[in-house]
A = this chain, B = another copy of it.
Amino acid sequence: MAGSYRAPLGDLEFVLRQVMPTKQLLALPAFSHVDRNIVSSVLEQAARLSEEVLAPANFEGDTTGCHIDDGHVTLPNGFHEAWIRFVADGWVGLDLPQAYGGQGLPRLVQAAFAEMANGACVAFCMLPLMCRAAARLLHEHAPSDIVARFVPKLTAGEWGATICISEPQAGSDVGRIQTRAQPADDGTYRVSGTKIWISYGDHALTPQIAHLVLARTPGAPPGTRGLSLFLVPKKRLAFDGSPTEANGVSAVSIEDKMGLKASPTCVMEFDGALGYRIGPEGRGLRCMFTMVNTMRLEVAIQGHALGGAATARAIDYANERRQGGSPDEQPVPIIEHPDVQRMLLTMRARTEGARALALEAALQLDLAEHAAEEPQRIDAAVLAEWLLPICKAYGTDTGFEVANLAVQVFGGYGYVTDTGVEQYVRDLRVSAIYEGTNGIQALDLVTRRLLNDGGERLGLFLGRIRADIDRHGDDKRLDEIRGGLTDAVESLERCSRALLQTAPEPQPAAAAATPYLRLAGLVGHGWMWLRMAAAAAGRSPLHRQKRLTARFFARQLLPEALTHEAQVLAAAAEREAPDLDALGAY
């Protein structure tokens, strides 16, 4: 039924305990306060929170949506209760520094928690995501008095936060931002302008909201180099830091959206609001990049979180719903029909590949910060940078495909609102758009990650995969996935070489970016399936499921590499832009 959620605890434990080097990670000094039992206990509590507190709020949230009245946004009822519990249990600061009241757990564990929480109620999770991203950003770039006043509150979930980038004329093109920040005599600024697509721009869950706003100081150059970052609190601060009177920031409207209806998407008006500059003038975008990793990883997680939730529902339904078979006998559960099996196996293969790859990215973010030696930290940072646009775009695209397959498994019942399955499709549709559209992610991968360094980052990625292929070279049971993955890796190499040869022409690489990212994503999932299949050597149903799904992935999904490669090579060979007059002719 709608509102039900089954946390994939067994699957998550499998990846964390048997596929990822979690033990080695926890042995690092930064995690001396954490051990495997603590991790397991956290995950169990997260599963309970997700199933018992967040999931029940999800369907109601979609039905009720948000409302705005005179600048005040009202959230669905269940969200208040859920937030109290969420904050009381300290979930916001799970992976934030202990110095500010966080629990200092690895991002790897946070990512496993985030899958369950988002799978249960993605609209709710947008708020703690903003708190975490803001806390990390301020921790890194804000002066110490701002850090002291804001970061503990954000870490605790006592105050909310937003990220204010887009404006009506500046979406993907952030360099066109027009919001102005006028310096005042006391070193603060007065911020004025309109921001759009602001998640949780207003609500009554917290008495204070920290808006992180990109704006332009007087005389700043055009483009992104003229952008600075400001912290604009909803309420001005009293001497003791507590919120007092209103600060010239207000939500003027909220969007009526396809999905994610319980997460208010606000148009925010800043009218001479007091703001504190964070970081140097003209370095606003660079400061914002601090949280890009956090945001991209979380949006990537939304993909397999909702995909996984939809998959669990579809598997249950396929076991219960009976149709077909001989008319003289009882109908058979639809899971017995090969085309339903094809859909369910596709769903599992995509979801679990995306999950493992996102957890790998989280692990690399942990290592980038906490690994013992500097070369390890640098490699981890580079690998994380390579993986994150892939996880974000490929994870949300495949998650959306999976959610749609769930609707298909449910048939007519999937199209009906009450079942709660079509909500996954609607909620997830935006994940390919926000936090940088998936097209922007692909461009980012090809231009900033591949072409800019002549393929060095790619080399690191492929080196890790090859090492794993070699490591399992003798295992006959892995022949299919290993062989398929080897082919796909070679395909990615050919495509990379072709793109490197197109530089510095911008058109071919840009035209090839999306199929290139998809090929890289497929290779990434293949890498994870090799490791999962290798780890699943036992007789338990879970291990048999991993081997079955790895085989399906190798036989039915890895061949997508053939199409992606042909697309990349054809686009790379195309030196001219298409005839735009003709493109739009009717």
A interface residues (Cβ-Cβ under 8 A, vs B): 6, 8-11, 166, 169-173, 175-176, 196-197, 222-224, 255-259, 312, 315, 318-319, 322-324, 327-328, 331, 335-345, 348, 400, 404, 407-408, 411-412, 414-418, 422, 425-426, 429-430, 432-434, 437-439, 442-443, 507, 510-511, 513-514, 540-542, 544-545, 547-548, 552, 555-556, 559-560, 562-563, 566-567, 570-571, 574, 577-586
Chain B residues within 8 Å of A552, by CB = 578
Bound CA–CA A579/B549 (angstroms): 10
Contact of A223 among B222, B328, B337 (CB under 8 A): B328
Tell me the smallest distance from the CB of A506 to a CB of chain B, in Å: 8
Cα A425 to Cα B577 in complex, Å, equals 29
A479 to chain B, nearest CB (A): 14
B417:A432 contact, CB within 8 angstroms? no
CB-CB under 8 A from A540, the residues of chain B are: 585
* A430 and B416 alpha carbons, distance in the complex (Å): 10
Return the contact of A586 from the options B6, B256, B324, B583 (Cβ within 8 A): B6
Within the assembled complex, what's the spacing in Å between the Cα atoms of A562 and B545? 28
**Distance A585 CA – B586 CA, assembled complex (angstroms):** 52
Contacts of A514 in B (CB 8 A): 339, 342
Complex interface: chain B residues within 8 A of A570 (CB): 555-556, 559
5 nearest interchain CB pairs?
Answer: A223-B327, A559-B566, A541-B585, A562-B562, A544-B582
Residues on the B chain within 8 Å of A258, using CB: 407, 415-417, 422, 425-426
Interfacial chain B residues near A579, Cβ < 8 Å:
544, 548
Query: Given contacts A256-B416, A585-B545, are A327 and B222 in contact (CB under 8 A)?
Result: yes
Known A-B contacts: A173-B323, A555-B570, A559-B567. Give 20 more (CB < 8 A).
Answer: A172-B323, A176-B327, A222-B328, A224-B327, A256-B417, A257-B417, A258-B407, A258-B416, A312-B586, A319-B584, A335-B584, A337-B510, A339-B439, A343-B439, A348-B583, A408-B433, A541-B585, A545-B583, A548-B582, A548-B583
Structural contact, B437 and A578, CB atoms closer than 8 A: no
The residue from B166, B343, B511 contacting A339, defined by CB atoms under 8 A apart: B511
- Cβ contact within 8 Å between A586 and B8: yes
Q: How many chain copies?
A: 2
Is the Cβ of B257 less than 8 Å from the Cβ of A408? no
A432 to B341, CA, bound (A): 18
CB-based contact A556/B571 at 8 Å? yes
25 A-B pairs with CB atoms under 8 Å apart are: A10-B586, A11-B586, A169-B331, A170-B323, A171-B412, A176-B323, A315-B584, A335-B583, A335-B584, A338-B513, A341-B511, A343-B439, A400-B404, A408-B437, A408-B439, A414-B433, A425-B429, A541-B581, A544-B579, A544-B581, A548-B583, A555-B571, A559-B563, A559-B567, A559-B570
A170 to B426, CA, bound (A): 28
Q: Are B415 and A433 interface neighbours, CB within 8 A? A: yes
Q: Which B residue's beta carbon lies closest to that of A413?
A: B171
Interface centre among A175, A578, A581 (most CB of B within 10 A): A578
Give CA–CA (A257, B414) in the complex, Å: 9
Residue numbers in B under 8 Å from A256 (CB-CB): 416-418
Contacts of A345 in B (CB 8 A): 578, 583
Select from chain B the residue with minimum beta-carbon distance to A480.
B570
Report the minimum CB–CB distance from A429 to chain B (whole Å).
Answer: 6
Q: Which residue of B lies closest to A343 (CB)?
A: B439
Give CA–CA (A422, B400) in the complex, Å: 14
A438, closest chain B residue (CB): B408
Q: Is the CB of A577 within 8 A of B542?
A: no
Partner of A255, one of B341, B416, B567, B582: B416
Residue of B nearest to A513 (CB): B339
Q: Most chain-B CB neighbours within 10 Å: which of A166, A344, A438, A541?
A: A541
Would B411 and A429 count as touching, CB distance under 8 A?
no
* B172 and A542 contacting across the interface, CB-CB below 8 Å: no
Chain B residues closer than 8 Å to A344, beta-carbon distance: 583
* Nearest CB of B to A522, in Å: 11
A437 adjacent to B411 (CB under 8 Å): yes
Q: Please tell me if the beta carbons of A429 and B415 are within 8 angstroms of each other in the complex.
A: yes
Do B312 and A442 touch across chains, with their CB atoms under 8 A apart? no
Q: Quick check: A567 and B556 within 8 Å, CB to CB?
A: yes
Q: Are B342 and A511 in contact (CB under 8 A)?
A: yes
Q: In the complex, A510→B416 CA distance in Å?
A: 27
